Amino acid sequence: MQILRSVADAAISPVALTIGNFDGVHLGHQAMLAKLRSAASARGLPACVMTFEPHPREFFAPDQAPVRLTSMREKLELLAQHGVERVHLCRFNFALAQVTAQDFIDRILVRGLGVHWLQVGDDFRFGARRAGDISMLKAEAPRHGYEVEAMPTVVLDGERVSSTAVREALAAGDVAKAGRLLGRSYSISGRVVRGDRLGRELGFPTANVQMKHNRPPLTGIFAVEFTRGNGAPLQGVASLGVRPTVKARGAAPVLEVYVFDFKEEIYGEHVRVDFLHKFRDEAKYVDLETLKQQIAHDVVNARNYFAQRAGRTAGADRRVR
């Protein structure tokens, strides 16, 4: 997948394009990408996505912006997995925020990107003061010779699929619901970095996974799968939070994973942690011995969770046969 960090003054070739933030790349986004691929293939055009960094709400009101579901690397990897051939990663800054809706169409979409087919969400707004909408795009289409299609809302179990719905499920500890909205388990990926080695001292050495943002959408203790590169997932238990027993108030959140029956040194490796089930919230304990006992209890719970899940899977396989 080609990643471009600017829009050219003049397009080299026409494209099929969809625009959005694609945070989480959930089922609604995936439906858009499937339609994009189909339209691009039918017209012999590259399938392209325009997205923004930072999120416009982070630019205008960083203290009120929603937490991110995916880092930029995670988002780009997911877009590539869903068949996107080119991403225009546009820097959202003051200059872009001042571009009028008309100029966005004329200079960026038509002249800079060569849009021949365009798909946006039915609530898409663009341009300074969010003055542009899909009605404006359709009104300009005959003059510029592009097609416009709106992507209708995707509904799952009676609820609109959205990044907000995923965030709310994760904040409530309902990782199963978040997984249904995403079409996969919610995950965080990053490099394994050195920590304070407290887990090792307590008898539960952990892999500390570096996170790109200090506002994760979920916290607590979880059963997880831990994947190195293209290897098979390993089972474990993870703690994601500020570790109140050992850190002062205001500490940055940390993702630590105790991988069962694993002793390799993997500092520097890029890994993915899939969150499968939440056991409990973080808690502050009176001393390290009490914390150690709780960790041992969490490990037992996680092993039991995986054993029960394997039993359910085996039972389902027998019913299918």
CA dist., res. 204 & res. 299, Å (int): 9
Give the start-to-end residue ranges of the domains of the chain.
Answer: 2-156, 185-320
* pLDDT score recorded for residue 314: 62
* pLDDT score recorded for residue 88: 94
CA dist., res. 211 & res. 240, Å (int): 10
> Which residues of the chain are under the pLDDT cut of 70?
248, 250, 313-321
pTM of the model: 0.91
* pLDDT score recorded for residue 230: 85
Chain mean position to CA 162:
12
CA dist., res. 24 & res. 21, Å (int): 9
- Pairing of β 2-4 and β 86-91: parallel
In CATH, which superfamily holds the domain spanning 2-156?
HUPs (3.40.50.620)
Residues 217, 221, 225, CA angle at the centre, nearest 5°? Answer: 85
* pLDDT score recorded for residue 111: 95
Q: Measured between alpha carbons, how far apart are the two ends of the chain, in Å?
A: 40
* pLDDT score recorded for residue 62: 79
* pLDDT score recorded for residue 313: 67
Six-digit token string for 24: 């989480």
Six-digit token string for 321: 């046969």
In CATH, which superfamily holds the domain spanning 185-320?
Riboflavin kinase-like (2.40.30.30)
Query: What are the distances in angstroms from CA 224 to CA 60, 118, 155, 246, 275?
Result: 35, 39, 27, 23, 5
